[in-house]
Structure 1
Amino acid sequence: MADRSDPLSDAPNEALLVLFANGDRGAAETLALRLTPKVMGHAYRLLGHRAEAEDVTQEAMLRLWQQAPNWRQGEAQVTTWLYRVVANLCTDRLRRGARSAPLEAAGDPADDRAGPAQNMQEAARAQALQVALNALPERQRQAVVLRHIEELGNPEIAEIMQISIEAVESLVARGKRALSASLRDQSEELGYSE
């Protein structure tokens, strides 16, 4: 829901970036509040490690601010560009083996509205999903996360990953099959029925 007290709350991302490039700090704040949680979530899902995801988020947002003066409206959406930067930064970290803490150390935020049993169940599901995602080949993981967690369309994913739509469809299908096979033995334990 848009904040009616903020006249920039309904502005498109691209317009906010241009306003920031022209010195409007309010536009930068609005854009950061809008995009940072999405970037952080995407980085966490690709890396499986909260501290690493925070570092990637900070670097990606810094690159966005640096790109602002040169932004050419109409060439790409800010989110598409940003997801591509996050994916590249995560790929670099994974290739360098930069992860140092186990997945369990990342933890999950508590849901104040749910009871302890539900919180434990949701945490177990999230951890199982993250472990299964981490086991996927890098490109399959990226395609599955963008499609089913970030809820992007195949054309936008194809642009982010710089592959064809057919390749996206294939990666997503193979990734889903692998996730399903990986999680099948845990379905009862995770509280899923047929």
Structure 2
Amino acid sequence: MQDLTSSLKDVRGATCTANTPSDDVLLAQFARGDAAAARVLTDRLGPRSFSVALRMLGSRAEAEDITQEAMMRLWKMAPDWVSGQAKVSTWLYRVTMNLCVDYLRKQKPDRLADVPEPEDGQASVAERMQDKARKDALQVALSQLPERQRQAVVLRHIEELPNPEIAGIMGISVEAVESLTARGKRSLVAILSDRRGELGYDDD
């Protein structure tokens, strides 16, 4: 059995494991013409951008397009990047979020898409079916949140960013992040309340 918070963490698209060199160093190397640095930085940051876009848009194809555009913007600004001014990942999250918001505002609000998820080969068929049902339900529930609540929930509970970094990405105060996150999580619980038993969530 799972609670909603652990389920939100489970749907994170990818986790970066590389620790060295830093994003700043890699971006500076790319700006000097190092193609290998670009590949490493793409492998490190691309999945993060894609994870956010996927949870904001609910479509892999559209998330891939957003990620590609966000990374292209990163490469274009690389020569002007000032090390220490901000985190490269924070900059990319902000650009990804803005691209998603721009896209969503052009779409019909009732447009939802199925999001296929990778299956865990170690799980039983029944477990995989429930896991997919849970992830699909969460994606649909996320799509029903107000735009800012969805951003805060995705960044906090799926990307697991600290509130101060989220505040910087969203251009709001830490207190506002905390409020949006709390309201968003309460809304998700309410949306999913009728399916808690079916989806295998613990009762709080």
TM-score (norm 2): 0.87
Greater relative contact order (Cα < 8 A, sep 6+): 2
Task: Say whether the 8 Å CA contact 1:154–1:169 is kept in structure 2.
Answer: yes
Instruction: Determine if the alignment matches structure 1 residue 44 to structure 2 residue 54.
Output: yes
1:156 equivalent in structure 2: 165
1:171 equivalent in structure 2: 180
Equivalent-residue separation in structure 2 for 1:52 and 1:92 (angstroms) = 12
Q: Identity over the aligned pairs, expressed in percent?
A: 58
Instruction: Determine if the alignment matches structure 1 residue 34 to structure 2 residue 44.
Output: yes
Task: Say whether the 8 Å CA contact 1:49–1:101 is kept in structure 2.
Answer: no
What does residue range 109-148 of structure 1 map to in structure 2 within 5 Å?
109-148=118-157
CA deviation profile, 1:147-188 (whole Å, cap 9, x unmatched): 000000010000000001111111011101111111111110
Q: 2:199 aligns to what SS in structure 1? A: coil
The one-letter code matched in structure 2 to 1:25 is: A
CA deviation profile, 1:14-44 (whole Å, cap 9, x unmatched): 1100010011111111111111111111100
Instruction: Determine if the alignment matches structure 1 residue 59 to structure 2 residue 107.
Output: no
Instruction: Determine if the alignment matches structure 1 residue 80 to structure 2 residue 90.
Output: yes
The one-letter code matched in structure 2 to 1:131 is: V
Task: Say whether the 8 Å CA contact 1:93–1:99 is kept in structure 2.
Answer: no
Q: 2:201 aligns to what SS in structure 1? A: coil
Q: How many residues align?
A: 187
More deviation, 21-30/109-118 = 109-118
CA deviation profile, 1:58-96 (whole Å, cap 9, x unmatched): 000000011111101111100100000000000000001
Q: 1:192 aligns to what SS in structure 2? A: coil
Task: Report the Cα offset of residue 101 of structure 1.
Answer: 7.1
Name the Cα RMSD after superposition: 1.6
Equivalent-residue separation in structure 1 for 2:54 and 2:139 (angstroms) = 9
Unaligned runs of 5+ in 1: 3-8
- Equivalent of 1:94, from 97, 101, 104? 104
Equivalent-residue separation in structure 2 for 1:83 and 1:140 (angstroms) = 16
2:14 equivalent in structure 1: none
Task: Say whether the 8 Å CA contact 1:56–1:86 is kept in structure 2.
Answer: yes
